[in-house]
Structure 1
Amino acid sequence: MLIRSFLLQVLVLLVTTVGTALSAERPNVLFIFSDDHAPHAIGAYGGWLKSVNPTPNIDRLARQGMLFQNSFCTNSICGPSRAVILTGKH
């Protein structure tokens, strides 16, 4: 009887967990990657080129969502830097 009760509890836990995982919404992520692009050229960062090169859609996305602000590069050429940000491996 004890084993049957334990198995019933495990079954209820599994059904609840699987049902919750299946009904959860996937996160809505948009990652804009621009190679060799200075942050002062995008208006959302408040750079001095925002009036020369307006970026209203990127600015709106930044206001409504999140803005990536901290990035550190250990290599001066673009190939390794690009690989690091795309793979997450240093």
Structure 2
Amino acid sequence: MLEMRPNCECCDRDLLPDSTEAMICTFECTFCRDCVDNRLHGICPNCGGGFVPRPVRPAKLLMKYPASTKRIHNPKCAEPVTSGTAS
């Protein structure tokens, strides 16, 4: 079952369980659509994979299966990765 994480890992924007702006990778790293499109260019900074829209959990199931409250935030997520090798 998806955790339904509450925020964008990059900009810390709130992403409610019914948000259509939430995007996830295969490891459920969670980002807002704006960061995915404009900062990350469709590539997860954690695993290198792509993104899909996060499904919306039906409201009637949120009581039985609540969304996560654990926030993950890495403001450096959109910084360019350097190889560490000098040329």
Superposition TM-score tier, normalisation by shorter sequence: under 0.3
Q: Which has the higher contact order (CA 8 A, sep 6+)?
A: 2
More strand by share: 2
Computing the radius of gyration from Cα coordinates, the structure with the larger value is: 1
More helix by share: 1
